Structures are given as structure tokens and as C-alpha cells.
Amino acid sequence: MPNLKDIKRRIRSVKNTQQITKAMKLVAASKLRKAQQAILDARPYAVKMMDVLNHLAARCNGDLHPLLDVRDGNRHLFLIITADKGLCGGFNGSIIRKTAEYLKNNPQNENSLIIAGKKGNDIFRNRPVNIIEDHIGWTKDFNYLKAQTIGENLATLFSEKKVDKVFMIYNEFKSV
């Protein structure tokens, strides 16, 4: 049976752990609020950009720019965006499930993937699908240059007619 000194030490240890956990929770809540606000602030811009691009694409024919070309081929490329870490509920699961569902239901297509995120790569690297490139660790210090590189790679593959259609599978932030 532990003596009184051991019990007091254990109680002190548990209290210290509780303090650390509480501090970590406060820091996480603060970071979450900042990230949530950044997403909410960017949403109107993203919606307006999508409206403008859809408006332009609807009024232009494919002769004006190679990226506006509409093709009926069966070479499909998917950019799937997952997280680098887990423990985020259905975030990764829904993306992986939707991608796997499409690949399973459309075996007649030549399907290829560009994967952003470790979780997507962990799942699809063991499956019989062509992975053109993967971007593990892409969320660390994410910036415009990283997004531009991925976008340029997609544009090059499409304009060189190596793929006929490009799809992006991602989650849209709703709320916490």
C-alpha cells in the first residue's frame, strides 16, 4: 500500500497534468478561432472568384484558351486534398471514400491521382491506381507558391492532352 508521501506526490502530478491540459486546450481554442475566422473571411472572395470563372468559361469557347477545352475522353485526373495528420473525424474519410467510390464505379476510365496530404497517400499508394505525384507535408507553411506549383502541374497535364478531365475532391468548411 502506498504511503501518504506517494499519494500526495501522485495528487500533485495529476493537478500539474490538469493545468497543462487546460493550457493546451486554451491555446488550441485560440488557434481554432483564428483559423475559422481566416476561412470565413476568405469565403466571399472564393465564391466571387468561382462565379467570375464560371461566367467566363460559359461564354468562351475552347479555342480561346486550351484550359477551356471540353473533352469527352476517359483519362480522368483527380486532385484529392487530405490532411497530413488524422484525428479529425470524417475529414479524411469522406474524401477517401468519395474517391474510392468513383474509382470503383468507373473502372473503364484511365484514372490518375495527384494527392495532397499524407492520409490520402497512405490509403491510395497500396491500391492499383496511378499516382502521378504526392504532396506530403503540404500543409506545413502552405503558401501561394505551393498551390501555384500544383495548379501548373494540373494545367500542363491537361494542355498537353495527357488527361481529358480534371476533378478536385475536397471538403468545404461549414462550422466547428
Least confident residue range of 7-16, 54-63, 153-162: 54-63
CA-to-CA distance for 154 and 6, rounded, in angstroms? 62
pLDDT score of 120: 86
The percent of residues above 70 in pLDDT, for the chain, comes to 94
Instruction: Kindly report, residue by residue over 57-93, the tens digit of the pLDDT.
Output: 777 765 667 777 777 888 999 999 888 877 777 888 8
Instruction: Kindly report, residue by residue over 18-66, the tens digit of the pLDDT.
Output: 999 999 999 989 988 888 888 788 778 778 888 887 777 777 765 667 7
Kindly tell me if the per-residue pLDDT of 107 is higher than 80: yes
pLDDT score of 10: 92
Instruction: Pick 91 or 156 by higher pLDDT.
Output: 156
pLDDT score of 20: 94
pLDDT grade for 176, boundaries at 50, 70 and 90: low
Q: What is the residue type of 130?
A: N
| CB-CB contact of 78 with 169 (8 Å) | yes
- DSSP label of 67: G
pLDDT score of 173: 67
Q: Name the CA radius of gyration of the chain, rounded.
A: 23
Kindly tell me if the per-residue pLDDT of 14 is higher than 80: yes
Kindly list the distances between the CA atom of residue 146 and the CA atoms of 39, 122, 125, 175, in Å, as whole numbers in the listed order. Answer: 18, 21, 22, 26
pTM of this prediction exceeds 0.75: no
Active-site residue set: 88
Identify the CATH number of the domain defined by range 66-169: 3.40.1380.10
